[in-house]
Amino acid sequence: MVTRTPRGRSLALEVQADLAERPDGLPALRAYAFTSGGRLIASEALNASGATRLPIPTRSEPDTMRLLIGPELEGEEPDAGELLRRGAFEERVALRPNVERLNPLHVRLGAPDVARLMLRSCLVRGKLVKRVGSGGVTLTLPVRGATIDIYEVDPWHLILPKIPDLQISRLREVIDGPWPPEEMVLPPITANPADAIHPSAFLGVAGVQVETRANAGWDLGAPVAAKSPALATGVSMAQALGLPADLKLASRASRPMFEAAVLKHIELLRPLLCWLYPMHVTKQKIATTTTDDCGHFQQTIWRSLFDFDQPDLYFVARQRVVGNFWVTLYEPTPVGCYTWWNYACGTEVTLTTTNFWAHTGPPCPPVIAPNNWVLFMAIGNTSVSLIDHTTGLLDGTRPWGGTLRPRIEFDQSLRADLNVHYYRVSSKRATEDETKWRPSSEAVNRHYTHEVAGDLILEQYALGPKTVGASAHLYEIPPALPPLGQWSIPNAVLDTQSAVIPTNVAGVAPGVGFDAAGAPLGPDEGGLWQIKVELFDASGALVDPEALGIVWRIPESGDLSGTIDTDDAAAHGLVDAAWNRMVLNVYLDNNPIFGQIPAPLLDGAPAGDECGVLNYGGPGETVTMPFVAVQRNGFAGYAFEVSRGVPSNVRVTTSGTAANSVAAMPAAPTASVGQLLEDCPVAGFSEHLVVTHSGTDGWSSPVVPRVDMAAAFVLAP
C-alpha cells in the first residue's frame, strides 16, 4: 500500500515485521526511525501481527533512514545505540527529496534476531564519595546530585584480535623475555592516585606482586592483597612471578594459541594488558543516572538473555557547579585499568574523587537502632564506643583536651511524631553538684546549597544557641531537609559538630605549667568530667524521653564509615532516667609536658668546660646521657636518641611513657666510650628528645604543644 502525502508534510511508512517465533518473555516491540545522524524522527508500537505505520517527515536533502525494531524503552529517550545494545534489528531505508510515496517495508526476524531481543536485567549499584582531609584525619563524604555515566567496555576476547601482531609481540617479550623487561616505560597514574595500583607493582618492581580481586577489576579503592616474591634478574616473567607454564609455552606458539592462553589467564594479566594496550580498550555509554543525598546511585541495564558474559563496566562522574559549568569528578585512565571486569549484578561499586569542586553532603550511613533514637555518635571524629565509660579515657589510656565537639544524630521521628525539636549539651566536673553545669554556648550551624538563576549558592542554617520559651542555650535538631536544595559540608569539622565545649580555658580545665626544675606550678585542674544531653519540645519545655519512647544509643564499634550498628546507652550506665538525660564521662587533661636534656656525665662527672667536651681516659669509661620527659599524669610518650657525626650514626635510642614527675624518671641510658666512639678518637654527638602529649580532641592529637629539643657534646682524649 502506498500513501500519498502532500509535500512539506510527512509520508507514511508501513512496516510489517514477521517473527520466526514468539517465545514467552519476548518484550513488547516498537519501530523506531532515526536519521543517519542518529536523530529520532518517528516511533510507533507494533501491533499483535507485527505491523505499524510510521509518519516520516519529507526531506529536502537525500538521507539514509535507520529503521530499528526493538524493545520499548520505558522512561528513557530512545537512542539508537542503546536499542542496538538491547538486540534491536536494523534496516536502512533510502529517503530522497520530492518523493511522494514510500514503499511498504517488509522485514523478517529470524530465530537469532528474536533471541537477541530476549532481555534480562542487571542492576548496577554504587556510590560516589569524596575524600576530605581535616585535622590530619581523612573523611569520606557522599557526593550529592552528581551525574553518573555507565559505560560497557568490550571484553578482552574482542579486544585481543584487533591488536596488530607487532604490538602482540611486545606482550610475548614481556612474558617470555629477560626479567625485568628492558625499556618498558609505564605511564604514571594521574587520576585518583590514592585508589590506583601502578602495574609496576604487578611487574615485581620494588618486590611487590599484586593479586587482582575477583569481580572488581583492578582499580577500585578497596585494599589489594600483596606479597613479595623473590625476584631474580635474567629470568622470564613467568619464572619471576610464578605464571603458569602453559602461558610461557604459548608465548612462543601461534597467535591463536597465544591469545587462547592469555584469555585463559586473563585474571592475572589484566593489570599488564590495560597499560600495554590502552588505545585498544573501547567503551560505549549504556546508561546515565544520578547520585542521591547519600552519594548512592543505581540503574538497571539490559542484556540479551543469551549473552552469558558478565558485563564489564566503566564509570564517569560529572557535576554541575555553576550555571552550565560542569566539572568531571571521576574519569580515571587508562580505561582498562579502571574497569569493573565481570561486574556482579547488584553489588556496590565505590567511586572516589578528591576534586575540589565536588559538592558533598553530611555522612549518612544507615543507623541500625530501635525507633525514636538519639545517637551520641562521636566526639569529633572518634566513636563514643572507644571511650572507657568509667574512667572517661579513650581506649582506656588517653585523655581528652582542647575543644571537644560532640556529634549527635537524631531520628527524624523526634521532630515529625514526638514534637521534640531541640537539645542542649552541658558539661561539668564529675565531683561538682547540679548547679555547676556549663551549657554549650558557641554557634553551631549547618550549610546547604541551592540554585539561584542557575548559580549554586551556599547558605548557612543556624542551629543555635537559641532561647525558646523559658529554656536558654538550645540547639535545633537538624531537619531532614534544608529550606532549599540540599545539605552540604564545606567544613568537615564545623558542619558535623552538635555542640562546642572548650576545655582548655579558664574555669574549665586549663593546663598548669612547670617551673625551670620541672615542678608543677599549681594543682591539677583536669580529671573526670561529664557531658550531658537533654531534649526539649517545640515550646522549649524539657521532655521525658522515657515517657515518649525515646531511646539513647551509642555506636557498637569505632568504625563510623559504613552502617552504624548501635548499642543501648543505658546498658553502659550512660542514661540518667531520673533527670531525663544522657551523661557521658570524659577524662580531661590539658596539662603541658616538660622536657630537658641535662649535661652528660663521664664516670659520674659532668663535662669539664663550657664547650661541652668530655675528656675520656680510656674506652671502658661510662658515659651517662640523662634526659627528662614529664607529664604530671603520665599522659605522654617520649623518644630520645643520641647520634654521632654527620650523617647521623645512631648510637643510643630509647622510648617509652613519660614520668609523672622528675623524681620518677627512670635511670638515664649509658654506654661505654668505646661503644660510642668505635674507631673515632674524637667525635661529636647530638642528643634529640621529643615528648608528645597523648590527649586528643577527637579530631587530632596532641592537644598541647610537644617538646622537641636538641643538645650536643664531644668525646675527646
State how far the Cα of 346 lies from the Cα of 298, in Å rounded to an integer: 9
Residue 360 burial by Cβ neighbours in a 10 Å radius (0-12, 13-18, 19+): buried
Please check the confidence at residue 198 and state whether its pLDDT lies above 60. no
Pick the most confident of 258-267, 272-281, 295-304, 416-425. 416-425
Lowest mean pLDDT among 187-201, 342-356, 635-649: 187-201
Residue 180 burial by Cβ neighbours in a 10 Å radius (0-12, 13-18, 19+): middle
Let me know how many helices (H) and strands (E) the chain has, helices first.
12, 46
User: Is 422 within 8 Å of 475 (Cβ atoms)?
Assistant: yes
pLDDT at residue 168, rounded to an integer: 84
Place 397 in a pLDDT band, splitting at 50, 70 and 90.
Answer: very high
Average pLDDT over residues 582-605: 94
pLDDT at residue 80, rounded to an integer: 79
User: Is 322 within 8 Å of 456 (Cβ atoms)?
Assistant: yes
CA atoms within 13 A on the CB side of 530: 19
- Residue 189: count other Cβ atoms within 10 Å of its Cβ: 20
Lowest mean pLDDT among 117-131, 142-156, 382-396, 436-450: 117-131
Phi and psi at residue 154, in whole multiples of 5°? -60, 135
pLDDT at residue 238, rounded to an integer: 53
Place 323 in a pLDDT band, splitting at 50, 70 and 90.
Answer: low
Tell me the β-bridge partners of 432: none
Place 259 in a pLDDT band, splitting at 50, 70 and 90.
Answer: confident
Please check the confidence at residue 178 and state whether its pLDDT lies above 70. no
State how far the Cα of 269 lies from the Cα of 340, in Å rounded to an integer: 15
pLDDT at residue 96, rounded to an integer: 78
Lowest mean pLDDT among 233-247, 304-318, 420-434, 586-600: 233-247
Residues near 126 by Cβ (< 8 Å), separated by ≥ 6?
148, 296, 297, 298, 315, 348, 349, 350, 351
Please check the confidence at residue 216 and state whether its pLDDT lies above 50. no
Of 248, 201, 209, the closest CA to residue 229 belongs to 209
Phi and psi at residue 331, in whole multiples of 5°? -160, 65
* pTM of this prediction exceeds 0.85: no
Q: Which amino acid is at 487?
A: W
Give the model confidence (pLDDT) of 660-706 as tens digits: 999 999 999 999 999 999 989 999 999 999 999 999 999 987 888 99
Of 661, 659, 667, 640, the closest CA to residue 651 belongs to 640
Q: Domains in the chain, start-ordered, CATH in brackets?
A: 10-117 (2.60.40.1120), 122-154+282-353 (2.60.40), 156-280 (no CATH), 367-588 (no CATH), 594-716 (2.60.40)
pLDDT at residue 624, rounded to an integer: 95
Phi and psi at residue 50, in whole multiples of 5°? 85, 20
Question: Strand ranges (DSSP E) for 333-419?
Answer: 348-353, 367-368, 373-379, 382-383, 403-404, 406-410
Average pLDDT over residues 324-344: 89
Average pLDDT over residues 347-353: 90
Lowest mean pLDDT among 3-17, 426-440, 525-539, 584-598: 3-17
Please check the confidence at residue 346 and state whether its pLDDT lies above 90. no
pLDDT at residue 188, rounded to an integer: 38
Computed over every residue of the chain, the mean pLDDT equals 83
Tell me the β-bridge partners of 19: 109
Lowest mean pLDDT among 59-68, 71-80, 141-150, 676-685: 71-80
Place 179 in a pLDDT band, splitting at 50, 70 and 90.
Answer: low
State how far the Cα of 544 lies from the Cα of 535, in Å rounded to an integer: 8
Lowest mean pLDDT among 28-37, 60-69, 214-223, 536-545: 214-223
Q: Which amino acid is at 600?
A: P
Residue 548 burial by Cβ neighbours in a 10 Å radius (0-12, 13-18, 19+): middle
Task: Kindly state the greatest CA–CA separation across the chain.
Answer: 121
pLDDT at residue 118, rounded to an integer: 66
